[in-house]
Amino acid sequence: MATIEKNATAPHLHLFRRYLRQQGLPVTQQREVVADVLFSSTEHLSVEEIEAELKKRGERIGKATIYRTMEILVRAGLVEDHDFGDGFKRYEHLFGRQPVHEHLVCTHCRKVVEFRRREIHRIQDEVAREHGFMAVRHRLEIYGLCADCRAAGVQLSNDGVACPALRL
């Protein structure tokens, strides 16, 4: 098995190890390698993509271990999971990014693009204030076609639109 080198993900792995110990869970090489794959990425990775990266590194770690590790990382607050409607979860670490960002999701190629706009945060605060609500977080996902798919001629279909009048 490959060893974890001291690199940019080392502080994140330290936090993960500390969380595991606090929860009385074993700190294993497999968990650390899975976490390192995610912490080293700037993408929203699926379990299959994590597994593929592990294989590139010469690691043979089963999907069940990857799934369990991802659940622990989410509970630890080190990773966020997303369901972008493609039948599986994707994961992103919460380090080195603005804490609040939104997602554009291409319904054709499934590419996810992050963006940040102050106006969205302002609207969240205004709406919460109007309703006497204390907001702690929000999630905005916009679905459609990315620029690459549009340039390739991909068209949106009207499938799934419930109201026949909207199909006109």
pLDDT at position 5 is 38
- Backbone torsions φ then ψ of 69, nearest 5 degrees: -65, -40
- Look at the alpha carbons of 111, 112, 117, 120 in this order and tell me if their dihedral is positive or negative: positive
- 71, 11: one domain: yes
State the alpha helices, DSSP H only, in the chain: 10-22, 29-39, 47-56, 63-75, 118-130, 147-151
Q: Does some domain include residue 9? A: yes
- 80, 48: one domain: yes
pLDDT in 10s for each residue of the chain, 168 residues: 333 333 545 678 888 999 999 999 999 999 999 999 998 887 888 999 999 999 999 999 999 999 999 999 999 988 888 877 777 788 888 776 555 677 888 888 888 887 878 888 888 889 999 999 988 777 787 888 999 999 999 888 766 545 544 544
pLDDT at position 87 is 76
Count of the separate structural domains present in the chain? 2
Specify the pTM: 0.63
Domain span holding position 56: 1-94
Query: Which of the listed residues 94, 123, 147 is the one where a domain comes to its end?
Result: 94
CATH number at residue 77: 1.10.10.10
**168: buried, middle or exposed (CB in 10 Å: 19+, 13-18, 0-12)?**
exposed
- 78, 131: one domain: no
- 57, 132: one domain: no
Q: Does some domain include residue 145? A: yes
- Residue 72: alpha-carbon gap to chain centroid: 14
- 69, 135: one domain: no
Query: Which of the listed residues 60, 75, 94 is the one where a domain comes to its end?
Result: 94
Contact 63, 106 (CB under 8 A): no
pLDDT at position 142 is 84
- 14, 48: one domain: yes
Q: Does some domain include residue 163? A: no
Gap between the Cα atoms of 114 and 70, Å rounded: 21
- 29, 74: one domain: yes
Q: Does some domain include residue 82? A: yes
- 87, 105: one domain: no
pLDDT at position 21 is 94
**Token pair of 137, please?**
């977080």
CATH number at residue 109: 3.30.1490.190
pLDDT at position 16 is 92
Gap between the Cα atoms of 66 and 45, Å rounded: 12
**14: buried, middle or exposed (CB in 10 Å: 19+, 13-18, 0-12)?**
exposed
- 79, 106: one domain: no
Contact 140, 103 (CB under 8 A): yes
Q: Does some domain include residue 45? A: yes
Gap between the Cα atoms of 168 and 160, Å rounded: 14
